[in-house]
Structure 1
Amino acid sequence: MRTEFNWHLTAWKSLGRPSPGDIIWETELLNHSELVMRKRAYQNSTLYATFPRDPCDSYVHCGGNGNSVLNSSLICQCLKRFVPGSLENWNLKDFLKGCVRRKPFSCRNDGFAKYLQLKLLDTTHNWINKSKNLVECMAKCLSNCSCSAYTDIDVRGRGSSSAIWFE
């Protein structure tokens, strides 16, 4: 998703001198947004810190259809109905291949599994509607075989916005 905005905070040089200082916090777009702290000096900058701080904060650390759980012996787990894409890599804690369906997808019989408290998926292949509630969103998703997920995106809990992802 592109917004064409570059958000950043710049420290003042000093309390009595409110002009841009050397330290800057900014969002850097590499593969996905990441918060970084830099010290600028002329044309060069030194990277001081980046966020996310733990593997579960990194986008797609567990690959597609995987879930990161910090207090688990194996930090990545496959969602219901999915298995590791490469069991050999998974056992070596290389989760980049993510998880694949346990059974081939059947448009008519699969339905959807409910997941709570997960980060939203990549927004490359999705559709957002600010006026459809969750029931309407589910009906639209069930009528399209390329629909892979749907959710309520109204964080206030009023259920007036939804998103659908397509494979």
Structure 2
Amino acid sequence: MTTNHGNISRLRLGPEGVYEVYTWFSEHREWKLSWSVNDSCFSSSHCGSYSFCSKYTARRCNCIEGFTQKLDNRLTGCARVTKMSCNQDKFTTLPNMKLPNDSDAYERWSSDLQDCEENCLINCQCTAYTFVESRKGQGKCVTWSGELEDMRNYTSGGHDLHVRIAPTDHGVG
């Protein structure tokens, strides 16, 4: 990339998953940071699986209730405290969320939130769901069956994401 002043710039993904632009200063013969995204939550999958990014909390990466950090590095994501049991699982609700990536998502028409929850509960592979009302009396039920990645928390807007957890893990994480 060349700027209008003839300087050469390059874009890189930094170690924290933040985009950075470096500009070459020939008089100093070095690359200097000239711009970066100051919101690390901007980066895709910044926090790893079962973790969400929030620029409004002291810790950028936060494990979902019922999950614990995999390693000391928060960017590696989180793991379940207790395996899903299928028959007795509950849901924890994350409000105002950017929904996880949709590679393992399935959409279907649903009458309401309760119908969507029941549909997720009977499928032992279902890890989370959300209900998006689109027409009076109907909406879309979106369910996920794989690991939940690329989530972000907003102060307002977004969707309520209901994540499946073991009943013993309510309040853990």
**TM-score, normalisation: structure 2:** 0.57
Q: Deviations over 1:36-62 (max 9, x none)?
A: xxxxxxxxxxxxx99x76222222211
- The aligned runs of 1:120-139 (5 Å cut-off) are 120-139=99-118
- Structure with more contact order per residue of length (Cα contacts < 8 Å, sep ≥ 6): 2
Q: Is the 8 A contact 2:110 2:138 kept in 1?
A: no
Tell me if the contact between 2:110 and 2:116 (Cα under 8 Å) persists in the aligned partners. no
| Aligned-pair CA distance for 1:158 | 6.6
The alignment status of 1:89 with 2:68, answered yes or no, reads: no
Q: Is the 8 A contact 1:81 1:101 kept in 2?
A: yes
Instruction: Map Cα deviations across residues 10-39 of structure 1 (whole Å, 9 max, x no partner).
Output: xxxxxxxxxxxxxxxxxxxxxxxxxxxxxx
Contact kept in structure 2, 1:134 and 1:161, CA below 8 Å = no
1:150 to 105, 126, 129: 129
Matched-pair identity in %:
29
Structure 2 segments unaligned to the other structure (5+ residues): 1-34, 147-173
Letter in 2 for 1:115: L
2:56 corresponding residue in structure 1: 71
In structure 2, do the counterparts of structure 1 residues 75 and 107 end up closer, same or farther at CA, with 3 Å as the change threshold? same
Query: Hey, which bits of structure 1, 4+ residues long, moved more than 4 A?
Result: 155-159
Match of 2:16 in 1: none
User: CA shift at 1:118, angstroms?
Assistant: 1.2
- Distance in 2 (CA, whole Å) between partners of 1:122 and 1:54 is 19
Query: Aligned residues, how many?
Result: 113
Alignment RMSD: 2.7
**1:14-53 map, 5 Å:** none
The 1:60–1:157 alpha-carbon spacing in structure 2 relative to 1, beyond 3 Å, is: farther
Q: State the SS of the aligned residue for 1:64.
A: coil
Which of 117, 131, 143 is the matching residue for 1:164?
A: 143
Query: Aligned equivalents of 1:156 and 1:58: distance in 2?
Result: 33
